[in-house]
């Protein structure tokens, strides 16, 4: 076991940190207050090659390992959850799913431009009545000649108004329950597609989130990913990648909470000394540090399993559950350390607290992950081998 970053990973970490300090930190408070998703910043992230960091070079990516994606997500979330979310959805949920399940023709048409950052990808699974209970989704896809006709609605979709391509899940055979769900590549320009942003969110206000609508939208038969009925398997394996990036991002949020809190501990004095000298403040700082180090190790373990080409649903679930809970607690403690000032947007910690709530809900609530981990330990849950796995790293030419 080697816990040191490689020279390439260290350079990547420094590059993303510098980008965050220069391109996100000075503007994020304004974007958050206005509910503005800055697409120019997303373009700059693409120009750095971060949208395809762990996609093989033959498909337009940087060809780095899966833990390099974790490093990118950690550093971006140190700036704000909105931009980590964009990479999570584009790379983790969409591009890595195409890498794992797509045909060569689909990779050529969709994955390559996404990995190069020329196009943006997103993921359409959640519906108004289908969150944790995926089998309750209502969107349908009916084959008509050489096309599928999609009707339905998705909600809480990141990059809803920004993405060019979406992986959309719909029933092709409702009588088969989750075995009747299929996955399709949908383009924004397809007739019958529309989107609408959601306003009034508690957090991640600088991100673009909303609804997708499909009204007799015709999708070419060749845009079916995998086979009919593979959709549930594809969605769950996609979540293994998405949850990995969310967990990595949570490490960045803890890091941001620590940085802000440590600065304030030295800045603020009470009872004649820095507040960092008070034992209960030290306890909160120590808990943040412990949460950061434990979460990062869980993330890196999941990443190494991905690098080895091994299934990692159990390990990724644990990392996502624990890292997001640690981040939520770190943000709460950061506000407490700042006292009344933590309740004001004069300091960034109130934004961290608002942002920290969504990750303990999406891509598997903390309750779902709690049940998953218990079922693994009790022997009630065992992961079967998948028809398609992510390629091992280093990638073959």
Active site residues: 363
Residue 336: which of 261, 251, 278 has the closest Cα?
Answer: 261
| Cα distance between residue 198 and residue 264, in whole Å | 34
State residue 274 phi and psi, 5-degree precision: -55, 140
| Cα distance between residue 206 and residue 35, in whole Å | 5
| Cα distance between residue 146 and residue 34, in whole Å | 44
Tokens for 240? 């293994």
Side-chain-side CA neighbours of residue 327 (13 Å): 36
**Contacts (Cβ under 8 Å, ≥6 apart) of 236:** 313
Contact 212, 193 (CB under 8 A): yes
Tell the burial category of 334 from Cβ atoms under 10 Å away from its Cβ (0-12, 13-18, 19+): buried
Residue 182: which of 232, 114, 116, 125 has the closest Cα?
Answer: 232
Long-range pairs for 15-18 at CB < 8 Å and ≥24 separation? 15/48, 16/48, 16/50, 16/71, 16/72, 16/75, 16/76, 17/75, 17/78
| Cα distance between residue 72 and residue 252, in whole Å | 9
């Amino acid at each position: 076991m080697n816990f040191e970053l490689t020279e390439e990973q260290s350079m990547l970490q420094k590059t993303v940190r510098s980008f965050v300090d220069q391109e996100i930190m000075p503007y994020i408070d304004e974007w958050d207050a206005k509910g503005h998703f800055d697409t120019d910043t997303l373009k700059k992230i693409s120009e750095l090659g971060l949208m395809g960091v762990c996609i093989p070079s033959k498909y337009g990516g940087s060809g780095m390992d899966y833990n390099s994606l974790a490093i990118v997500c950690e550093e971006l979330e140190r700036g704000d959850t909105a931009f980590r979310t964009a990479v999570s959805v584009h790379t983790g949920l969409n591009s890595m799913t195409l890498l794992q399940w797509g045909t060569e023709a689909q990779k050529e048409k969709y994955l390559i431009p996404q990995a190069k950052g020329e196009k943006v990808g997103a993921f359409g699974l959640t519906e108004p009545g289908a969150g944790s209970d995926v089998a309750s989704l209502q969107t349908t896809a009916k084959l008509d000649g050489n096309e599928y006709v999609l009707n339905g609605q998705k909600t809480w979709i990141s990059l809803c108004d920004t993405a060019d391509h979406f992986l959309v899940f719909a029933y092709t055979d409702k009588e088969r329950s989750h075995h009747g769900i299929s996955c399709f590549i949908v383009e924004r320009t397809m007739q019958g597609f529309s989107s609408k942003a959601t306003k009034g969110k508690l957090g991640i206000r600088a991100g673009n989130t909303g609804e997708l609508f499909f009204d007799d939208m015709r999708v070419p038969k060749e845009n079916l990913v995998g086979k009919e009925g593979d959709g549930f398997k594809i969605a769950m394996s996609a979540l293994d990648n998405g949850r990995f990036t969310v967990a990595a991002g949570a490490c960045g949020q803890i890091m941001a909470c620590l940085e802000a809190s440590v600065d304030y501990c030295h800045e603020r004095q009470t009872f004649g000394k820095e507040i960092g000298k008070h034992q209960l403040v030290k306890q909160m700082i120590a808990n943040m540090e412990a949460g950061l180090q434990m979460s990062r190790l869980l993330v890196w373990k999941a990443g190494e399993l991905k690098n080895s080409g091994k299934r990692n649903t159990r390990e990724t679930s644990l990392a996502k559950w624990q890292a997001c809970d640690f981040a939520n607690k770190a943000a709460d403690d950061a506000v407490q350390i700042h006292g009344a000032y933590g309740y004001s947007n004069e300091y960034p910690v109130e934004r961290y607290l608002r942002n920290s709530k969504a990750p303990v809900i999406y891509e598997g609530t903390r309750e779902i992950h709690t049940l998953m981990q218990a079922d693994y330990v009790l022997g009630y849950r065992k992961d079967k081998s998948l028809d398609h796995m992510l390629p091992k790293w280093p990638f073959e030419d």
